[in-house]
Amino acid sequence: MATRTLKLDISFQKLLAVVDQLELDEKMFLRKKLDREKVPSWQERFGRALQQLGNKNKRFTTEEVLTDVERAISDIRTNV
């Protein structure tokens, strides 16, 4: 695939016109690149954070975590 270097100082409509002129394989490459760089929603980021925490804390049982959560809630309520 040919390499293209662009310095853009054009309107969004003109950018779309340029993209329309790309060949199909270039459009597919651009689509994949943009999909990789898209900003995830807060739900996706939260889900990934939970997944990472879960992976790091597999050594703790569900009961231990629930006990810690209940203790933390109790501590907060008594200090308010």
Contacts of 22 (CB under 8 A, 6+ apart): 30
Tell me whether residue 61 is in a domain. yes
pLDDT top residue among 7 and 15: 15
pLDDT top residue among 15 and 39: 15
Tell me whether residue 58 is in a domain. yes
Tell me whether residue 21 is in a domain. no
| pLDDT score recorded for residue 35 | 83
Tell me whether residue 13 is in a domain. no
* pLDDT range class, residue 1, cuts 50, 70, 90: low
| Collapsed DSSP state (helix, strand, coil) of residue 22 | coil
Instruction: Write down the residue that tokens 């008594």 correspond to.
Output: 78
Following CA atoms 26, 30, 32, 37 in sequence, which dihedral angle do they give, to the nearest 10 degrees? 160
Tell me whether residue 56 is in a domain. yes
Residue range(s) defining the domain that contains residue 60: 42-79
Average pLDDT over residues 25-37: 89
pLDDT top residue among 80 and 28: 28
Tell me whether residue 18 is in a domain. no
Domain count, the chain: 1
Tell me whether residue 74 is in a domain. yes
**Is 21's pLDDT higher than 90?**
yes
